[in-house]
Amino acid sequence: MIYRDDLWQVDHRLEPCPVLGWLIAKPLRHVEFFDELSIEEVEAFGRLQRMLTRALRDIVPGVQKVYSIMLVESEDCPHVHVHIVPRTEDHPASFRGVRIFDFDGPSLLASKSNELQQSSKDTFNLVK
């Protein structure tokens, strides 16, 4: 966990993680549809998404886009969670957009997870 407030929690995607900075935001309360979130949770998510996007652009080198992807398709994870994924300039074109889930490149977090996690904590503490 790298961030938690009264409504949302943010974690790094666990290994294997082919993209540096791949985050997952999820409400603390179990909901299976976005419209089941309260207005307060939706508003908090908007602020959280803005904060995460800013932090990833500051921390991850060469960010060109930051994807926010919510599919709620996994049978082992049938609740709302949003993948917040930075896409860098050198990311292969054939694995952009939702195809990023098919990307099995080298795990960048394996070598940089401590550095990114500390930078993330420092940045989130400043913006919180």
Do the domain assignments include residue 64? yes
Do the domain assignments include residue 44? yes
What's the number of domains the chain is made of? 1
Do the domain assignments include residue 128? no
pLDDT digit string, tens, across residues 3-57: 999 999 999 876 666 677 889 999 999 999 999 999 999 999 999 999 999 999 9
Do the domain assignments include residue 125? no
Residue 71 burial (CB < 10 Å; 0-12/13-18/19+)?
exposed
Q: Give 64 or 47, the one with higher predicted confidence.
A: 47
Do the domain assignments include residue 118? no
Do the domain assignments include residue 123? no
Half-sphere exposure of 96 (CA within 13 A, CB side): 12
Do the domain assignments include residue 57? yes
What's 95's DSSP letter?
G
Do the domain assignments include residue 13? yes
pLDDT value, residue 20: 74
Phi-psi map region of 31: left, alpha, beta (phi>0 left; psi -120 to 50 alpha)? beta
- Name the phi and psi angles at 27, rounded to 5: -70, 150
Q: Which helix (H) or strand (E) holds 86?
A: strand 82-88
pTM: 0.75
Q: What is the CATH number of the domain that holds 27?
A: 3.30.428.10
Look up the domain containing 73 and give its range: 3-110
